[in-house]
Amino acid sequence: MTTLKDIAKEANVSVTTVSNVIHGNHKRVADETVEKIKMIIERVNYVPNMTARSLVNKSSKIIGVINHVVPGKGGNFIADPFNSLVIDGIEEKLRESGYFLMVRVVYSEDDLFLLLHNWNIDGLILIGLFQDEFFERLMKAAVPFVLIDSYVDNHQVLNIGLEDCKGGYMATKYLIDRGHRNIIFASPVIKRNGVVEERFKGYNLALKEASIPFEDKNVYQQEITIEEGIKLGHKLSLRTDVSAIFATADILAAGIISGLNEQGKRVPDDFSIIGFDDLYISSLTAPRLTTVHQDILEKGRVAVESLISVIEGETIEDYNVILPVTLVERHSVKNIKE
């Protein structure tokens, strides 16, 4: 079996240099040396012993992507298209950086600490975490972590977020600019210091700017699933006083469109609708969905870059990275001014 020493001898370099190349640390290695070592590794089909490396360096190169859910309301974390794209971006960057991915759903603080006790995890990425008891326990764990889409009020916690308020404002203003005044806000439960609350703030800001009074009856909160969206579409089909809907997730918007169709209502002739995220499903609805775009893959990549910087002791310039949003026009909004 080929060893590091064998590769080092053939390449006429030190074992340390070979190890650095294998693990992606190329800063102090000449480009031609890197290529030479890689060619030898490929020719001899060398596979690093990660278990032995973990024992020596006390590093597993494993990053855990953790979803914390309330018991009984777990849903299917990985099946969610948004989460799948985030994880895709995370895995791509981890692979490029020589790290490995573990995905886990945890229900309680004890569940989390059991995981950390049994696995030598180098770092954690958590999606949509709130500032609660679970977060407070996480802060006491001796493991670096980064949050995605969180509004935890702690400036020393890494967070990769989005212009959520701006996105909610853009979507609502887009509808208002096309003559709509009675606009539904459809979302999951609006929790304090959460992503949806920020999008709700943007919705209200656009209404206020246009001197449109806010009405509680225009706010609908439910789970983000196609089924719940269809049910909501049935309910909204009975509203003869509204002309437009802002759904804070494309999955919810797609369900609403189906529900409206089942009740004989057409988009955008009877109801205009705009979504959020720009998932692939937004190009499959009939009509195709106008939506607020975010780069979900990039969100995962940036989360990994930030976390690895902490793990490897590098200086962090910005603990709160906010990614931009844009609006993608398709065919689900009617201009009723025309």
Judgement on whether residues 266 and 199 belong to the same structural domain of the protein: yes
Residue 26 lies inside a defined structural domain of this protein: no
- In angstroms, how far is CA 36 from the centroid of its own chain? 38
Which of 84-98, 286-300, 302-316 is the most confident on average? 286-300
**Structural domain span for residue 315:** 62-161+297-323
Nearest-angstrom CA–CA distance, 245 and 218: 9
pLDDT score, position 54? 47
**Close Cβ partners of 257 (under 8 Å, ≥ 6 residues apart):** 233, 267, 273, 285, 286, 289, 332
Burial of 80-89, coded b for 16+ CB within 10 Å and e otherwise, reads: bebbebbbeb
- In angstroms, how far is CA 194 from the centroid of its own chain? 14
Task: Choose among 179, 186, 237: nearest CA to 212.
Answer: 179
Residue 245 lies inside a defined structural domain of this protein: yes
Judgement on whether residues 79 and 98 belong to the same structural domain of the protein: yes
Judgement on whether residues 286 and 318 belong to the same structural domain of the protein: no
Judgement on whether residues 238 and 311 belong to the same structural domain of the protein: no
Residue 267 lies inside a defined structural domain of this protein: yes
Whether the per-residue pLDDT at 57 is higher than 60: the answer is no
pLDDT of 208-248, one tens digit each? Answer: 999 999 999 999 999 888 899 999 999 999 999 999 999 99
| Single-letter residue type at 19 | S
Residue 330 lies inside a defined structural domain of this protein: no
Q: How many domains does the chain have?
A: 2
Residue 29 lies inside a defined structural domain of this protein: no
pLDDT score, position 159? 92
Whether the per-residue pLDDT at 70 is higher than 60: the answer is no
Lowest mean pLDDT among 56-70, 88-102, 108-122, 217-231: 56-70
Neighbours of 286 (CB within 10 A): 13
pLDDT of 186-196, one tens digit each? Answer: 999 998 888 99
Q: Which residue has the tokens 């001898």?
A: 9
Judgement on whether residues 79 and 189 belong to the same structural domain of the protein: no
Judgement on whether residues 155 and 170 belong to the same structural domain of the protein: no
pLDDT score, position 148? 93
What CATH code is carried by the domain that includes residue 124?
3.40.50.2300
Whether the per-residue pLDDT at 151 is higher than 50: the answer is yes
